[in-house]
Amino acid sequence: MQLSMLAPGMGNPIAPRARRLLRSKVADTTVLIDRHRKTRSAVAPSISSRRAGGVTRTGDSARRAIGVRLRACICFVAFWSGNTHPWRELMSDQTRHLSLFEEDYLLRELGPVAHVPQVALTELVANAWDAGASKVDLFLPTEPGGTLTVVDDGHGMTAAQFSKRWMTLRYDRLKHQSSKVEFPKGRNAKLRKAYGRNGVGRHGLLCFGDQYQVETWRDSKLCTFVVGTESGPSPFVVRSEEFAERDGSGTRLSVSVTRKMPDIKEIVTVLAARFVHDPAFQIRVNGVPLTLAKLEQHARTHLLELSDGRSAKVIVIDSTQQNHSSIHQGVAFWVENRLVGDPSWVIGQVANFDGRTRFAKRYKVIVDTQGFEGHVFQDWTGFQSTPAVEELFKAAAECINHVANELANEVVEATSEDALVQNRSELKTLGQGAQMEVTEFTKAVAQAHPMVSPDFLATAVKAVINLEKSKSGASLLTKLAHLPASDIEGLDSLLADWSVKDALRVLDEIDDRLSVIEAISRLAEDPDTDELHTLHPLILRSRWLFGPEFGSMEYCSNMTLKSVAKQLWRDADAAFINERKRPDIVVLPDRSTAQLVGIEQFDPHDASLAQMQNILLIELKKGGFKLNRKEVNQADEYVQDIASSGYVNGSPFITAWVVGQSIAAGVATTKTVGDEHHKYGQVRATTYGTLVGTANLRLMRLRETLEDRYGNLKTDALLLKVLATQEQTSFDLGAVPESGAKDEASVTEVV
């Protein structure tokens, strides 16, 4: 067999060392082939006789072995033949596409577990709980370089279990082990629910050093592993392992503390608050057991005197940090220093408290009873339904409610913050005065009802924000704008009767209107502006530009005006821009935009009939358009057509505005429609510049007066905190541009 047969077409010569190794492999393969031939000829009769019965042929295994050798030779030649060969390129591609990890990847993945000592140690103690331990000992060093150890008497792990559970990042305990805790063999204990969920807490010792040691023993077999972080294809690895024998079961974790020295006093407080609910689970820190006595400075105690000499002590413990898991939150009932059932905010059959509130997340409640030994189920899963137990539950719930009200000041701001943050997007759309009013409302509700549901409070805040939006300063500003020039000097005396909220509300409205004016002035002067979709809609939403009387919220659209609009432009190739959502916007062929709005009120002589009192028609011409007599006369015809349409009840006064970039010489800017006995309309012609200038002058005088008086008001600190919270912008991916508008048309809005 020649080398050229094994590697045909290779451009690069095979290295001498590779050639020698290849000859050796070819020689071995040749021996196998000869041996196969001899074996086949010797057993040919038996092969033929057995083939009919469907039995595997004797030579198959030999041929498979030869095939493996031949393929190995070919791959060997490919590997040593140079970089240009496809097999070589394939291997380099595989290497190039390996997933690699930075050395600190695991620390970043673990989050607070790898950076906050009390969180790391809390997770490790929770692991001991999940391992069915009855006691756990922590030894915390007092100097850097000392050894920190966590030892428990739980069920331990075999080498295979360690590999599967410990070395799997984000190990799903619920999927592989369920939420029920496994206890060591021979230990009879009450059912427990596990803390663990996502498999990150076990690496808490990485908070203190880059590697740690795990000693775990089970079924008399001891396994010792050294685990550390590493860069490359795995974020953490087992650096060494040893095996021996040890009786019993348990786990011992140890690490040399090179960073994040734990504060022993703080650790004791946090661990006691988190795990003291079950007296059967004992924790010792540096040999000192954690008991309720360690929490006296963080606890409020209330004694309940019950009937027939029974009593209960309600202990409310501040856990200093809110719990993120709801499994062991709630009220824990003790009988003879033993936990009955599981902690829960459901007392008896009544869900007395919402576990999602800030109070429930921060405080833990223990009810230590006396005289209830005969009222507990034999398996200690709960209380029997007796009058004595009902009395206990009722008294405990009332006491906890009373304590919650006393502690309201400590959680009211956090509760308010949660509700405001959920609505911060809408909150930002309000002015400063309205924002402060919403914040004060939220605080008041949280203060009055400290156990209010977070969802309920957030919904209430949203409702108030919507009310604030509808209650803008527009109406008050309209009244101010009606003041004659001679009365502006008397504004100071009027302001003396205003509240700060009134002034802020008006300032907010003025600021909004000034922003609109600035935008209109820029868009109107820009020759590249798409006025159909930018300038025109902006003006039509700001009817106060045409005068304070037209800014009233009473001006609106209805089916009557929609019918009038259809009649006015039925022959002009017009189209409603969005007939279902905005039946008041119509697109005209000359790229103009018009709006028709009206005020409908009840007839003072017949309260059962609603009649149109005022109608406003606004027509906006395209950019650069010069108004001539034709446009004014066209508006005159609109007014006459509306009055004679037959759709309008009553005799409304109709005002028509025509707005362009400029007005031709000799064109009257005001025209009255009607006769000497009955004037029912008016036509006004103006330019964008005049419109903006007049409104700006009117608003700036008011703003200067108000700002001088109320400009130094401080903003609520909570409001600043909420508004500073970052949020992710939401995108409406399903929004599709509406196709009703035509590029070569104008828009007419009918309201």
- Quote the pLDDT of residue 728: 52
Torsion of CA 350, 352, 354, 358, to 10 degrees: -160
Q: What are phi and psi of 493, to 5 degrees?
A: -65, -35
The DSSP code for 342 is E
pLDDT in tens, 589-636: 555 666 777 776 665 555 556 677 788 888 888 767 788 999 888 889
Give the pLDDT confidence score for residue 312 in this predicted structure. 92
20-57 tens-digit pLDDT: 555 555 555 555 555 555 544 544 444 344 434 444 44
Q: How much is the pLDDT for 729?
A: 47
Coil, strand or helix at 380: coil
| Fold for the domain defined by 105-275 | Heat Shock Protein 90 (3.30.565)
Look over the chain and give the mean of its residue pLDDT values, rounded to a whole number. Answer: 72
Helix (DSSP H) and strand (DSSP E) numbers for the chain: 24, 25
**How does pLDDT run across 522-560, given as a tens digit for each residue?**
777 777 777 777 777 777 777 778 777 776 665 665 556
Residue 163 confidence (pLDDT) above 80: yes
Backbone dihedral angles phi then psi of residue 69, each to the nearest 5 degrees: -60, -45
* Confidence (pLDDT) at 649: 72
Q: Residue 248 has which token pair?
A: 């019993």
pLDDT level of residue 363 (50, 70, 90 thresholds)? confident
Contacts of 635 (CB under 8 A, 6+ apart): 617, 619, 656, 657, 658, 683, 685
Model confidence at 93: pLDDT above 60 = no
Task: Give the single-character DSSP code of 727.
Answer: -
Across 733-750, average pLDDT: 40
Looking at residue 28, its pLDDT comes to 56
Best mean pLDDT range from 117-131, 382-396, 487-501: 382-396
Q: Residue 510 belongs to what H/E stretch? A: helix 500-525
Checking if the pLDDT of 67 tops 80, the result is: no
pTM of the predicted structure, to 2 decimals: 0.41
Instruction: Write out the H or E segment, with its range, that includes residue 465.
Output: helix 454-470
Residue linked to tokens 């009786």: 247
Give yes or no for residue 395 having a pLDDT over 60: yes
Most confident range (mean pLDDT) of 58-67, 200-209, 560-569, 731-740 is 200-209
What pLDDT was estimated at residue 451? 64
- The domain limits of the chain are 3-96, 105-275, 292-383, 410-470, 509-696
Q: Which residues pair with 151 in a beta bridge?
A: 137, 252
- Average pLDDT on 286-302 reads 75
pLDDT digits (tens, 9 = 90+) for 227-253: 887 655 566 788 899 999 999 999 999
**Number of neighbouring beta carbons within 10 Å of residue 378:** 5
pLDDT at position 480 is 60
Work out the pLDDT band at 156, boundaries 50, 70, 90.
very high
pLDDT at 735: 42
- Which of 139 and 546 is assigned the larger pLDDT? 139
Q: Is the pLDDT of residue 469 over 70?
A: no
Question: Of 46 and 351, which is predicted with more confidence?
Answer: 351
Q: Is 111 left (phi over 0), alpha (psi -120 to 50) or beta?
A: left
Q: Which of 181, 153, 176 is nearest to 251 (CA)?
A: 153
Tokens of 103: 């050395």
pLDDT, position 214:
94
pLDDT of 1 = 41
Confidence category of residue 562, pLDDT binned at 50, 70, 90:
low
Percent pLDDT > 90 in the chain is 13
Residue located via tokens 């006789």: 49
Taking only the tens place, the pLDDT of each residue in 669-726 is 899 988 888 888 999 999 888 888 887 777 766 655 555 554 555 556 655 655 565 5
- List the single range of 260-269, 274-283, 548-557, 650-659 with lowest mean pLDDT: 548-557
Q: For residue 315, give both structure tokens.
A: 């202990």
pLDDT of 150 reads 95
Highest mean pLDDT among 194-203, 374-383, 507-516: 374-383
Minimal CA–CA distance to 357: which of 316, 394, 322? 322
Per mean pLDDT, which range of 47-51, 70-74, 299-303, 358-362 is the poorest? 47-51
pLDDT score of 432: 74
CA geometry: angle at 186 spanning 180 and 190, to 5°?
40
Which residue type sits at 726? Q
Please give the structure tokens belonging to residue 39: 């074996």
Residue 104 scores a pLDDT above 70: no
Classified as helix, coil or strand, 350 is strand
Rounded to an integer, what distance in angstroms lies between the CA atom of residue 515 and that of residue 522?
11
- Higher pLDDT among residues 66 and 133, named by residue: 133
